[in-house]
Structure 1
Amino acid sequence: MSGLEAALAAAVRAARESAATAVTVAVLTGDRAEVRCSGRTGRGRDAPACTPDTVFELGSVSKTFTALLLAAMAARGELSLTEPVDDLLPADWPAPAVRPAGAGPVRLLHLATHTSGLPRLPPGLLASALPAWNSNPYAAFGEERLPAALVATTVRTAPGRHYRYSNYGVGLLGRALAERAGLPYGDLLADRVLSPLGLTATTCAPDGPRRATGHRHGRPLPPWRIPALPAAGAVRAGGADLLRYLRAHLDPAPAELAAALRDVQRPRLRLPGSEDLLCLVWNRRRSAGRNVYFHSGGTRGCTAFVGFSPDGPVAVAALANAGPTLNGRFVQAGYEVLRAAGRSA
């Protein structure tokens, strides 16, 4: 068995150990693309078989789509990465109530690099999340609650100074982009990113006929909903579409997105205590002499990993319909597939 085959088998085992019923691992090495699917979209013999178009919740992998949307709008001249987010939000929305003395504004670039100083979650979300903590913790936090959350927000560090991962920040970024374009986030993403890339099965809609049912500890869950912060975690996709998405980063195309696809790969800062670099949302690591870009994500019921290396070229997407485990074994298995694909390219 080759190193890549062994890594693929390990990814499937890791998914099964987390009680997933469906797993997809898509691999691109050079000109060869393959989408391997295993299992069924839910429990029971009547559940459809998993296919390359079976849609999984991507969780925080959604943030890479938001980064590309940001870069695409900047390339079109609709905004600047250094523009303050306050300039894009509705005029009657308040700015964050508390900022460090002498701190400048929170800019779009800060939101896309987790250096805004915003907390991980908006104030008020945890209280509404607790009743559905194990299934759909974001569902009760609607967009109408964002203005009140901003009033209660403390910007803890001067924007641009310190890295602090924030779902709130990227979610707010998506809301700002939607406001500038005059479209809901899902519609804007479809128009500017999904449609040009030909990602016909990728969506922010929580329901659909090709959806893999998410599971937590073997129990089926309702579709993931994140109404106030869709840019941080609402995208869902299948293996075939994710390979198209990653291939576009390897060979930037179409022309209307080429500049944006290159821009999201430009390093912006070094992560604290690490040799890894942060681009626009994407992490970049030097591994075995190659630049490797990657991101993982999870909802309560699904786990996702995506990564690519232009120095191959190679790309991998790994998807399972079970929530992340504490040991992170499936995400690590996805990363090992990416490394093995690089060695075989």
Structure 2
Amino acid sequence: MTAVGSVVSGELIRRLLREPPDATGTAVAVMHGDRKACHGTGFTAKDRTQPITPETRFEIGSVTKTFTALLLADMVRRGEVRYEDPVDDHLPPGWRLRRPAPITLGHLATHTSGLPQVPLTAMPRILPTWFSNPYQALGPAEVRAALTRVRLRSAPGSRCHYSNFGVGLLGWLLAEAAGLPFEQLLEQRVLRPLGLTATSGIPTPQAVGHRHGRALPPWHIPGLSAAGVLRSTAHDMLTYLAAHLAPDTTPLASALTDVIRPRIPLADADDLCLLWFRRARPKHDLLFHSGGTSGFTTFVGFSPQSRTALVALTNAGATRRGNFIQRSYETLRALAMIK
């Protein structure tokens, strides 16, 4: 790992690879300047037959949202949609909100729509499998029905409330505007142009997810794909972050620049960009997002000024005792300070 820089950076990565105890394997990828390194430790499952490598696929959960934001920014650049467009302008045929509300695409992409985190009317379907596969019973029909009954938590644009429902809805609206299914649209407009050949919503092959040491089936999120459907590898995710550090080398330069522009000020001196969180440091900014499914935890982040990026993937779901995301953030912060 010292190819990234100093012995200090190598030790930081080795410490991260030892987390968390419930996982059977972890993959970490890091970039500092022009130097990159990827490493895997452990195995894809308890049978210990397949080692974790930089090409092992993990569920990345809510990190999917940053891809949805990039798709939105590219569609704005193409003139297909605008951030100011009302949700109602792009709803699929037969879909409608409970009552007209001034929710825009920009609200959905900054968690300021007022929509709840999940459709409350769908909770009876979600709760029975909350710790294994909570969204599997929440398909397009359930999302459509939830829209007709949803109550906003706040007026659109007035407060920031993290919302899987809102970003999932954004995926449906972008698909309708482009005339393609969301995952196909994402593959054509984002994944293929950036060379992310191992990234998709297809559940196999991938590592086996675990929660409290128990193996879990692959995650399914059919109704809110844009909020958490993707699987990826340490190698692909580092390529993805590298594109944000050098947007002019990609076909998505304008969109990559747009998604990291601060939009909403948050508490603790953070800002929300287009579904990226930004923390200003004295000499550099940190942009980051975490992701979790029942059996996987992910952290990705980068610093444009120091040209540093970090990917951390593990096949264990987050628990109250776990600190994988916090440790990953601290590692990114420390790496960004290395000259």
| Same-fold status (TM-score > 0.5) | yes
The residue number in structure 2 matching 1:247 is: 242
The structure 2 residue matched to 1:151, chosen from 136, 148, 153, is 148
Query: Any idea what SS the aligned residue of 1:344 has?
Result: coil
Runs of 4+ with >2 A deviation: 253-256
Confirm whether residue 224 of structure 1 aligns to residue 227 of structure 2: no
Conserved in 1, the CA contact under 8 Å of 2:288 and 2:299? Answer: yes
Confirm whether residue 43 of structure 1 aligns to residue 43 of structure 2: no
Confirm whether residue 106 of structure 1 aligns to residue 100 of structure 2: no
Between 185-194 and 127-136, report the one with greater CA deviation: 127-136
The residue number in structure 2 matching 1:34 is: 37
The residue number in structure 2 matching 1:268 is: 263
The residue number in structure 1 matching 2:327 is: 333
The structure 2 residue matched to 1:13, chosen from 18, 22, 41, is 18
Q: Answer 1 or 2: higher relative contact order, Cα 8 Å, separation at least 6.
A: 1
User: 1:253 offset after TM fit, Å?
Assistant: 4.1
User: 1:315 offset after TM fit, Å?
Assistant: 0.3
Confirm whether residue 67 of structure 1 aligns to residue 69 of structure 2: yes
In the alignment, the residues of structure 2 paired with residue 183 and residue 90 of structure 1 have an alpha-carbon distance, to the nearest angstrom, of 12
User: 1:94 offset after TM fit, Å?
Assistant: 1.4
Conserved in 1, the CA contact under 8 Å of 2:193 and 2:250? Answer: no
The residue number in structure 2 matching 1:317 is: 311
The residue number in structure 2 matching 1:280 is: 274
Between 250-259 and 31-40, report the one with greater CA deviation: 250-259
The structure 2 residue matched to 1:188, chosen from 169, 185, 208, is 185
User: 1:245 offset after TM fit, Å?
Assistant: 0.2
- Listed as ranges, the gaps of 5+ residues in structure 2 are 1-5
User: 1:254 offset after TM fit, Å?
Assistant: 4.8
In the alignment, the residues of structure 2 paired with residue 56 and residue 125 of structure 1 have an alpha-carbon distance, to the nearest angstrom, of 27
Conserved in 2, the CA contact under 8 Å of 1:3 and 1:340? Answer: no
Conserved in 1, the CA contact under 8 Å of 2:19 and 2:324? Answer: yes
The correspondence of residues 122-161 of structure 1 with structure 2, limited to 5 A, is 122-161=119-158
Query: Any idea what SS the aligned residue of 1:315 has?
Result: strand
Between 330-339 and 211-220, report the one with greater CA deviation: 330-339
Conserved in 2, the CA contact under 8 Å of 1:118 and 1:156? Answer: yes
1:73-99, CA deviations, whole angstroms, 9 ceiling, x for partnerless residues?
1111111011011111123211133x7
1:177-224, CA deviations, whole angstroms, 9 ceiling, x for partnerless residues?
111111111111100000000000000112x23x01100011110000
The residue number in structure 1 matching 2:25 is: 22
The residue number in structure 1 matching 2:159 is: 162
1:224-253, CA deviations, whole angstroms, 9 ceiling, x for partnerless residues?
000000100111100000010000000004
Query: Any idea what SS the aligned residue of 1:41 has?
Result: coil
Conserved in 2, the CA contact under 8 Å of 1:38 and 1:50? Answer: yes
- Listed as ranges, the gaps of 5+ residues in structure 1 are none
**Percent identical residues:** 51
Q: How many residues align?
A: 334
In the alignment, the residues of structure 2 paired with residue 130 and residue 286 of structure 1 have an alpha-carbon distance, to the nearest angstrom, of 37
Conserved in 1, the CA contact under 8 Å of 2:25 and 2:44? Answer: yes
User: 1:30 offset after TM fit, Å?
Assistant: 0.3
In the alignment, the residues of structure 1 paired with residue 187 and residue 307 of structure 2 have an alpha-carbon distance, to the nearest angstrom, of 26
Conserved in 1, the CA contact under 8 Å of 2:108 and 2:170? Answer: yes
Query: Any idea what SS the aligned residue of 1:193 has?
Result: helix
User: 1:131 offset after TM fit, Å?
Assistant: 2.0
CA 1:333–1:187 in 2, change beyond 3 Å: closer, same or farther?
A: same
The residue number in structure 2 matching 1:85 is: 87
User: 1:288 offset after TM fit, Å?
Assistant: 4.3
Confirm whether residue 3 of structure 1 aligns to residue 18 of structure 2: no
Confirm whether residue 118 of structure 1 aligns to residue 112 of structure 2: no
CA 1:55–1:91 in 2, change beyond 3 Å: closer, same or farther?
A: same
Q: TM-score, normalised by structure 2?
A: 0.95
Conserved in 2, the CA contact under 8 Å of 1:7 and 1:336? Answer: no
User: 1:255 offset after TM fit, Å?
Assistant: 4.8
Conserved in 1, the CA contact under 8 Å of 2:58 and 2:232? Answer: yes
Query: Any idea what SS the aligned residue of 1:23 has?
Result: strand
The residue number in structure 2 matching 1:95 is: 97
In the alignment, the residues of structure 2 paired with residue 45 and residue 29 of structure 1 have an alpha-carbon distance, to the nearest angstrom, of 32
In the alignment, the residues of structure 1 paired with residue 114 and residue 11 of structure 2 have an alpha-carbon distance, to the nearest angstrom, of 42
In the alignment, the residues of structure 1 paired with residue 322 and residue 112 of structure 2 have an alpha-carbon distance, to the nearest angstrom, of 25
Confirm whether residue 302 of structure 1 aligns to residue 307 of structure 2: no
The alignment yields a C-alpha RMSD, in angstroms, of 1.4
Query: Any idea what SS the aligned residue of 1:164 has?
Result: coil
User: 1:134 offset after TM fit, Å?
Assistant: 1.4
Letter in 2 for 1:58: I
